Structure 1
C-alpha cells in the first residue's frame, strides 16, 4: 500500500464516490448507503452486477503517520490470508488517489451487538447464544491453530451476522501473529476494556488464553445483556477484572451448563482457564444439532420486526444513510463495547463520553508527570506548526435566546444546533444541506435550496441568519480555506456547547472538541487510534501535538513535552470543562429547553 502522502496535503475527498473501480479485477462497484464508521474508515454497501459487498474506505489524507499506515498494511496482510465460514472474507484491496479500499463480505444484519440490543431485555435466548458461541469458537480455533494469529479484540461489536444469521468474526485491526506477540517485550494495552483479560491489563501481553477470556465475556454479554465487568469508571472495570469480580444475576434464566462454562473461562489464572478446544467439548453444546450449529435454525426463527427493519434499511432508494448499526440505539438500555457502563455521558452518546474521558486521562497523566518530575508516561511530539485542522471553529454565534447556536469551521462548513435538538450542516457554497432530526442520530437527510421540505424552511431561515451575522459582523482569526470545495455537509455537525466563566466549549459529532479561553488561547482536541491530537492556537501561532502513551519510561526532558506543558493552565481548564460536561450533561443555555440533554 502506498503511504508516501504528507499529512499537510490539501486534497480532500471525504465522501466515497458513487462508483469505485477495482483495477486488479477490472470491476466497477456502485456505492449505496453507509453501513458504519469508526476511526478514519467508513464502510459502505456496494454492488456489482447481482452481487452485494461491504467496502471499507480509508482516507489517505487521514493517515497521519507512517506507523498508522503500517497498521493498515498489517491488517490487510493478515486478513487476506483468512478463509473460514465464520470469518468475514476479504476479497480484494486497491486504492486510488484519495482512499484505500477493502472489499469484504456483506453482512446485512449488522453486528452481534446490534442484535443483542434489539432483543427483549437486551439479551439473547440461550439457545441462540450457544449457536453464536460455537461459531465464534470455530473461527478463533482456526485463527490460532491454522493461521497462528491472535485477533486481540474479540467482542460482540466485532462479530457480524450474515444473511443466514451466521456469526462471522470481523475487524483485524489489532490482529498479530502469535510469535510476534511472544517476542514483543513492550506489550500494549490494545483491545476493548470490558473484554481484556487480567494479564493484558498487567501488561503481560495477549495469548490464546486472553482470547478465551474475551470469548467468555462475549458469551456472558449475550446471556445477560452486558459484559461481566461493566462499571461506571474505567479503573473500576480494570480492578474488577484483575480481581475476577463478577456475578451471575439470578433473575435471568440461564442453565447450569452455561453458568459452568462461564465460571471455567473467567478464571484469573490463565493456566487454569478453559482453552478454545476445551470449550468446544463442553456440555453446553450437547443439545445442538448439526444444522443449528451453522446458524440455519436462527434464520428461520428470526424475530419478524428485526428482520423487517433490516430489510427496510437495505433499500437502495433510502434517502438517509441508515444502517443496521443504527438499530443499536433502539433500546433504552443500549449496550456498548466500551470499558464503561452507565457513564454520565450516556445521555448524549457513550462514544463521545469515552472520547472526552480519553482527553481527560491524557491531560491528567501528562501534567502529573511534568509536575512531579517523574518519567513521562505520555509523549507530546510536535506534528506541524502554523497549520490549523479543517475542523477548527473560526467563528461562532449564540442565538439560544431565540433559536440556537451556530459556528463556522475552517473548511467552510457551517453547522447549527437548534432548540428542538435538531442539527444542520451546509457546504461553503450553500448548495447542499445535511439535516439531523435528532443531533445524535447517525442518519441524516440531504437537500438543496431547490428541494427543501416546507417543514424545514424555518430552520434554513435561522441558519441563514447565523451565517449572515458571522460573515458580516465577526472577524475570524484565520480565514476559511477556499480550497476545500468538495467537503460534504454530512461529515460533521455540532452536537453540544457549554459556556463557562472564562470561555466556551464546543463539541462536534466525531468527538472533536474545541475550548476557547480568555487570553486568546484556543485548544482543539481530536482522537486518533491510541493517541490524541491537540492543537494550540495562541496569538496567531498554531502548534499541533500528537500525545501518545509511551511503551517505556522516557526522560521528561523531551523538548515537545516541555512546549505543550507551557500551556498547562489552559489544559487544566479544558480538562475541568470536560469533567463538568460528562458529569452533568450540561449544554449551557440550551439545557433547559432541549428534549434530550447533551
Structure 2
C-alpha cells in the first residue's frame, strides 16, 4: 500500500537516480535523523486509545512510507477493520515534520465523498500517532496493474470516471492532490475506487501565491511544477493523463533510465504512443498531457470526451479483474450498444447520421446498413416465424416460455404456441423435456455427449490433481459471447473468428472470418451460402444484426483463453444448436458435438469435443490457461475435485436443457 510513500523535497545538484526510483515518490532527498543501526522498539499488538479507552489489534503491514507504516487495525469491540497509518513520534520530532502531519489530518478529516478514502479517527500515545482510515481490501491500482500488466479500455473508463468524480470534489473544495498515481488509488471489497494519501495535498492558492516546491512522483510531475511555476488544478489533470497512459500501456509515458532524461521529456511533453491504442484514447491522453496547462481539458470535459461517450463503461467490475482480464459478456453493455444500433437503423434520418458519424468504425461497404427503412417488427425474423407456423402444422409444437423478447405479438397465444424452433433450444431452455424431440439431430448430439460424460464421472477414481498425461490439440470453441435474446438472439464468436447468431425464431446465421461470407441455417444441416453484399432481401435485416453482434464483440470483448485455432476444412462448419444459462454458468452445444460450459464467477471453462473418434476435455482456468486431456485418461487417473465438480455441473446442465 503506497498510501504513505511521498515527501516534499528541494532538488539540488543530484542528477543520478536509479531506474526504480522514477516511479516512487520524491523521498530520496530526505535525511534520516535516527541511527540506522539502532533497532526501533517492537510495537505492541494491542493498541489502546488513551482518550476513549478503545482497544485495537494490530494486524499485517499494508504499506510503508517515508515517515510511517500502514497496518490493518481491528477494533476489538466491533471487529471493524481499519487501515491505520502509524507514525512514530521519533520520525516527526522536528516542528515542520509535525506540522505536515497535523496539516494532513486537518485536511483529510474534512473530506466526505464516496470516491475519497474515508478518514475515521486519529489519536496518539507516548510512542506513535495513529490515523484510522477506510480499509480497502483489494489494495491499489498499482497492485492490480502489477498483476495484470495492462488494463482494457472499459476498465480504464470505469476507474477514470471514479477518479474524476473524487478529484472534482477535491477541486471544488479548493484542494490539490499533487500526488496522483496508481499507488494512491485504492480499491475496496466491492471494486469501488477511493482516492487516498493526502500527504502532499494543499489548498489551491491564487496564481501569484502558488506553491513552487517540486513535490510528487517524478514520472507524474507536470512541466509547470518542474519549472517552478506553481501547482494548479491543471497539474492534477496532467498526472491523470499519466495515470491513464500507464493503465492502458503498463508504463508511465515519460519513463526513462535516469531522472535528468525523464525531466527533459516532461518539459518537452515528449512521449511515444503505440498504434495499438485506440484513436479516442490517444486523443484524450494527448489533451491531458498538453505542455501548456491552459490547453488541458477540465474534469467535466474529460468525461464528455469521445473516449467515454463512444465506448461502454461497466457498471461494476468483478473482483477477478484484480488478477485477470474481465470477460465483458454481461448484457447491460450489450443492451446499451444495441439500443444505439437499433436507433440508428430504424429511427429517423438524424439518428442514423449521428450514430454513423460517432461510430466511424464500420467499413465503407457497411454503409448500406444505415439505409435500411424497414421496421424491426416487420423484419424477416417475424415473417419467417409466421411461415414456420403454416408450414409445420403436422409437427408437435414447442412452446417457448420463460424468456422475454421473442419477436411475436404478446397478445397472440396461438402464434406463440406454434412457433417452431428449427434449431433446438433457441432461448436456452424449453418448457419441458417432452418437447425436446429426442429423435432429432440435436437430441442425438446431446445424448451422445451426455452418455460419454456420465460414464466418465461414474467410473472415474478420486484424485487430488490433474493427470500427468496431457496433450496438444486444436479445435473450434467459443471465445466471446453476448446474450441479447430479449430482442434478437444469442451471439458468439468462435476461435477462428467466425461469428454466429442463434436468432429468437430458431434460425442460425454465421459470418465467416473473411467478414464477407454468410452461412444461413433454416433447418438442421441445410445451409444456404451468400455474401453480405448480395444477401437476399428477406435476410438483409438479419445480416445487419449479425454485423452488429460481430462489431460489438470485436470492439468490446476479450478472448476467453489461450487455445490456438486451426480450422480443419474437412470437418463441417460449427454452428450452435442450443444454449442454456443458469445462475452459475452458460452451456453451449454445437452441431458436431462440441460442448462448452463457461462459469461466470471465475471465468473458467470446460470444453468437450470429439477428435479422431476420441473425446477430449479441455479445462481453461481463471488465468485463461488451457489444459487438454483425453477423457480416457481422466477415466483411468481421475482429476482434481475442482474439475470434477465442474464436470458434474456441466452434465446436469446438459440433462436439464429441456426441463
- Bin of the TM-score, shorter chain as denominator length: 0.3 to 0.5
- For normalisation by structure 2, the TM-score amounts to 0.42
- For normalisation by structure 1, the TM-score amounts to 0.46
Q: In terms of Rg, which structure is larger?
A: 2
Structure with the higher fraction of residues in strand conformation:
1
